[in-house]
Amino acid sequence: MRLTFLGTGTSYGVPQIGCRCRTCTSTDPRDKRTRTAAVIESRGRRLLIDTPPELRLQLVAAGVTGIDAVLFTHAHADHVHGIDDLRAISVKHHAAVAAYGPAATLSELATRFSYIFDPAVRVQPGTSKPELVAYPLAADRETEIAGIPVRPLPLPHGDRAVFGYRVGPLAYLTDAKAIPDDVRAALTGLDVLVLNALLPRPHPLHLSIPEAVAVAQQLGARRTFLTHLTHATPHAELAASLPAGIAPAYDGLVIEVSAA
> In 3D, which of 39, 38, 29 has the Cα closest to residue 227?
38
Q: Is this structure's pTM higher than 0.75?
A: yes
- Tell me the pLDDT band of 7, cut-offs 50, 70 and 90: very high
Burial of residue 206 (CB within 10 Å: 0-12, 13-18, 19+) is buried
Query: 21 pLDDT band (50/70/90 cuts)?
Result: very high
pLDDT at position 188: 96
Look at strands 143-145 and 148-157 and give their pairing.
antiparallel
Residue 260 has pLDDT above 70, yes or no: no
pLDDT digits (tens, 9 = 90+) for 110-129: 999 999 999 899 888 889 99
Q: What is the pLDDT of residues 52-94, one digit of tens each?
A: 999 999 999 999 999 999 999 999 999 999 999 999 999 999 9
**Per-residue pLDDT tens over the stretch 197-233:** 999 999 988 999 999 999 999 999 999 999 999 999 9
The hierarchical CATH code for the domain 2-256 is 3.60.15.10
